[in-house]
Structure 1
């Protein structure tokens, strides 16, 4: 009788364990597919949203097209992917260039309001890349800013030739929002050319791990263990990177170039608290602006004049020829 009971308990335990393993495995594949599989995109549907939210884009874009300052370009990235970027030229740039990086499931069109600041207000050339798996760039997976840093570094490397400017005359700022901000911070921790002068990150997360943990709890009321661990392992096996490896927090700690941090104090998607450890980890020079009342990625929409002023003052401080000479 005791042997039969033990056998029954062992069988039930094995069945429960098998079910748990199956559920965790299914959940891991679902999470990775849901979060990291890119969907087919075009630029067309983004135009309507851009004009509805930012009507100031229309007259600026009309002038850009009249001057034939807009062009599309494609390049092969280090992993062999064919990547797309929008280029906008300014006859008054004199080497000043902004690389403007979009967020999760967005594309270059979604960043035109930021491009306008640099091009119209500050007379910069613009590079608006579509990240891996977004817009017109190839790839079926989203890289959460981590491997994207390699592609953005490639666009930066190509910038002098792209605009027909010598590297000695080039001065670049990298500005990203949300996942684009995470990408910007990941770029900042790498060795960048001398002509990369400063960075602006707007509502970026501390790490892919922290962001997915926040979403897992917020959307599904689930803890990080075990699903986030197994999903991260699966991502490592499938795409070559893990959630903890994708860490803007670790990258900004290595950055010695100036960075402006922006975050809305009502951000619940990338919660506001994330900006504080990022800011603390970053060595000087740096500056922090918390946009009052703004949710995720809405600091510009809510505070247009102040946003432009904050960005212009910060970038001009560190992207002038005088600063460039004294900092090298």
Structure 2
């Protein structure tokens, strides 16, 4: 075979590999960061919540009747997009305040069961943000907690503006919201922030995406995950490697409660062990028997409420 033919074939193969890798990277990024299923309306989300948590319907209805379920907006300090949140004052004046962060493709309404726990059962003021590209917030893609951490810090300041600088605050997140909470915890905190609760959060975007790539598509990390991370850096300004709750919590010296189901396969239970080990004291951990992903409260409402109350009481009450 002539040398020119060999060079032609090699060049064609290289172009084919690069083209396939580029297509695969764009597909992975759109598949993971721009899914369609997070575009539920408020009414659709409420209908879902009333089916799954019927006891919150009278509470929500009563809040809406008196105009106590309120909206507020800010602009993201990360990329200046318009963001939305709900806030609900406690039935009696209090400094106790919870900022509650939802999970992947959910929204503020779809974590209202935790809002119910804090507001209805524990008597807290609450603020529930829609993260970027979720609910009523704008944005061009899901940020997997990394840019969201800056938004949540701004929401925490907004809660202090709404409820007063004398508040005593807990930040509580589930799933991606838990990873966001841990990423937030590694940043410098205001004096009113007293503790954090994370429920089934992942160690890092890289480790979570690596797991999903292997389980869903049977594809190794190299080269697709590396290329998609590089593309994410170009398009959205962050990489999978840097979006690490595991690294962030090393810098957190405020108390944190870790909650994780021992039957969680989506965010595997081994992740909470790594996270707990890397977090400086004070810290507590509750591994919930037989609980799969993000259902620890739903399946253990009284025990969950008791655990959270006991934990936050040490630092907020």
Band of TM-score, shorter chain:
over 0.9
* Cα pair 1:172 1:198 within 8 Å, conserved: yes
Say which SS state the counterpart of residue 269 (structure 1) adopts.
coil
Aligned to 1:174, the other structure's residue is in SS state strand
Normalised TM-score (structure 1): 0.92
Deviation for aligned residue 1:74: 1.4
| Counterpart for residue 107 of structure 1 | 107
SS at match of 2:234: helix
- Superposition pairs for residues 161-180 of structure 1, below 5 Å? 161-163=161-163, 165=164, 167=165, 169-180=166-177
Correspondence 1:28 to 2:17: no
- Of the three residues 218, 242, 254, the one matched with 1:245 is 242
Aligned equivalent of 2:206: 209
Q: What's 2:84 paired with?
A: 84
Q: Could you tell which deviates more after superposition, 55-64 or 193-202?
A: 55-64
Distance between the aligned counterparts of 1:93 and 1:235, measured in 2?
A: 44
2:173 aligned with 1:195: no
Is 1:266 the counterpart of 2:263? The answer is: yes
Could you say which residue in structure 1 is the equivalent of 2:308? 311
Aligned pairs for 1:155-166 (under 5 A) are 155-163=155-163, 165=164
Contact 1:38–1:133 under 8 Å retained in 2: no
Task: Give the drift of 1:6.
Answer: 4.1
- 2:63 is equivalent to residue 64 of structure 1: yes
TM-superposed CA distance for 1:299, in Å, is: 0.7
Aligned to 1:12: 9
CA contact (8 A) 1:69 1:90 kept: no
1:47-71 CA-to-partner distances (Å, cap 9, x unmatched) read: 1221111111112223333443211
Pick one of 277, 292, 311 that aligns with 2:289.
Answer: 292
Give the Cα–Cα distance (whole angstroms) in 2 for the partners of residues 45 and 140 of structure 1. Answer: 22
Q: Secondary structure at the match of 1:253?
A: helix
**1:112-134 CA-partner distances (Å, limit 9, x unpaired):** 10001100111000101001111
Partner of 2:146: 146
3-state DSSP class of the match of 2:314? helix
Question: Displacement, 1:43?
Answer: 1.6
Greater shift in the superposed pair: 76-85 or 279-288: 76-85
- CA gap of 1:61–1:41, structure 2 versus 1, over 3 A, is closer
Once residues 28 and 65 of structure 2 are traced to their aligned partners in structure 1, the CA distance between those partners, rounded to angstroms, is 46
Aligned equivalents of 2:231, 2:35: Cα separation in 1 = 17
- Deviation of the 1:12 alpha carbon: 2.4
Please, what TM-score do these two structures have when normalized by structure 2? 0.96
Cα deviations by residue, 1:255-290 (Å, 9 ceiling, x for unpaired) = 000000011111111111111110000001111111
Aligned to 1:46: 45
The runs of 5 or more residues in structure 1 that have no matched partner are 321-328
What's the counterpart of residue 278 of structure 1?
275
RMSD: 1.3
Count residues in correspondence. Answer: 314
| Structure 2 unaligned regions, length at least 5 | none
Contact 1:145–1:182 (CA under 8 A) maintained in structure 2: yes
Work out the CA distance in 1 between the residues paired with 2:306 and 2:181. Answer: 20
CA distance in 2, matches of 1:62, 1:93: 21
Counterpart CA distance in 1 for 2:278 and 2:18 is 38
Deviates more, 1:88-97 or 1:290-299: 88-97
Query: Partner of 1:324 in structure 2?
Result: none
Distance 2:31 2:70 in 1: 33
